[in-house]
Amino acid sequence: MKGINKEELEKKLNLVIEKLMNLGGPEDEKELEEGGEKIGFFRRDFGIREWDWPQGVGLHGLLKIMKEKKNQEYRDFLYQWFKDNIRQGLPSKNINTTTPLLTLAELNEDFKDPEFETLCLKWADWLMNCLPRTKEGGFQHVTSANGDRQGVRLNENEMWIDTLFMTVLFLNRMGQKYNRQDWIDESIHQVLMHIKYLCDRRTGLFYHGWTFNEKNNFGGVFWCRGNSWFTLGILDYIDMFEGSMNAGLKTFVVDTYKAQTEKLKELQDPKTGLWHTVLTDPDSYVETSGTAAIAAGILKGIRYGILDDSYLPCAQKAIQGILNNIDEDGTVLQVSGGTGMGANEDHYKNILIAPMAYGQSLTILALAEALNS
């Protein structure tokens, strides 16, 4: 990329990968309560099962770089991670605990492990037949309940933009892999439902969520990482069809992506190259994980010819801003913690900042795209 030091980029990419693979929990329970590395990656500190969306996004990033680099160490690492977690027991099924299966379904194309295959098939069937639905059949954003990894929070009649990345990508992957048209059709239904209720027609940006109970978008906030799940995830979604996606559907989805990225380019912080955690509020802090996913999505859009070269300066500024927020030990800085639904902008502006597995992995995806640009 023009203006980006390739040697620095490769060096920091390797550091970020190494940190991701060793990212654990805090040193003590007090630090856990206060934030710290609140959501670890592979370790099971204090009996907390590390199988949820942060680990799932982390695994996804590691799988992508494993394929890019053809790295046997990463391949073996992923295999053992899944074996260890399955042996020790998995948490309850919900939207977020589905996320690791996106990586597992793809990884198992190499290993052909019956245990992995059975788990993925059973989980896909559960999504179709057991996951609570909203009105109009939307995937209800059921999550793990705080303090009880076997419990769930139902978030009745709520749809969140996170669901597209955390669950819908996996269901579509399984539909494509096993030629299950009903699974593919349901994934399409979910994408269209989330666009219908979460995309703002005036700006092209996405709200964090929608409630059928109150018939509103909660605080009406345009949250950075929430938007980034669409920017990055929707192109991965299209890829899964391998050219077989209905032309009208593809045009609709791509146009939605282009409208969003047009507004995102306008909102990028000119000083840091990052995006603010509340996209439309320049007084909110800039945030690296959402920026990384947006940058990866924009660079991929340019590479595919969906976006023109006028987006290159935006992507370059974002990549430099990300590089500026990688510590010397590979820790990605300025990453916001897990974020529940908020009733106002202050909710998002007050989320803690701490090292997170998804901050590492989304940065990996952004830097890998930059190397290929």
Statement: residue 149 has pLDDT above 60: no
- Strands of the chain, DSSP E: 143-145, 148-153, 158-160, 209-211, 275-276, 286-287
CA gap 152, 141 in Å, rounded: 10
Q: How many CB atoms lie within 10 A of CB 210?
A: 23
- Which run of H or of E encompasses 130? none
The pLDDT of residue 44 is 44
Statement: residue 22 has pLDDT above 50: yes
The pLDDT of residue 249 is 98
Q: CA nearest 190: which of 265, 274, 258, 253?
A: 253
* Single pTM value for the model: 0.94
CA gap 80, 25 in Å, rounded: 19
The pLDDT of residue 336 is 96
The pLDDT of residue 1 is 77
- The mean pLDDT value for 319-334 works out to 97
Q: How many CB atoms lie within 10 A of CB 88?
A: 11
The pLDDT of residue 34 is 40
- The mean pLDDT value for 327-349 works out to 96
The pLDDT of residue 372 is 87
pLDDT digits (tens, 9 = 90+) for 341-363: 999 999 999 999 998 989 999 99
CA gap 315, 298 in Å, rounded: 7
The pLDDT of residue 41 is 57
- The mean pLDDT value for 169-182 works out to 98
CA gap 112, 118 in Å, rounded: 11
- The mean pLDDT value for 294-313 works out to 97
Statement: residue 286 has pLDDT above 70: yes
Q: How many CB atoms lie within 10 A of CB 214?
A: 10
pLDDT digits (tens, 9 = 90+) for 62-114: 999 999 999 999 999 999 999 999 998 999 999 999 999 999 999 999 999 99
The pLDDT of residue 150 is 57
Statement: residue 50 has pLDDT above 50: yes
What is the per-residue burial (b if ≥16 Cβ within 10 Å, else e) of 236-270?
bbbebbeeebeeeeeeebbebbebbbebbbebbee
Distance set, CA 2 to CA 66, 316, 317, 373 (Å): 26, 7, 10, 9
Amino acid identity, residue 141?
H
- The mean pLDDT value for 180-184 works out to 98
First to last CA, the chain: 6
Check residues 243 and 49 and name the one with the higher pLDDT.
Answer: 243
CA gap 87, 80 in Å, rounded: 10
Statement: residue 297 has pLDDT above 50: yes
pLDDT band at 36 (very low <50, low <70, confident <90, very high): very low
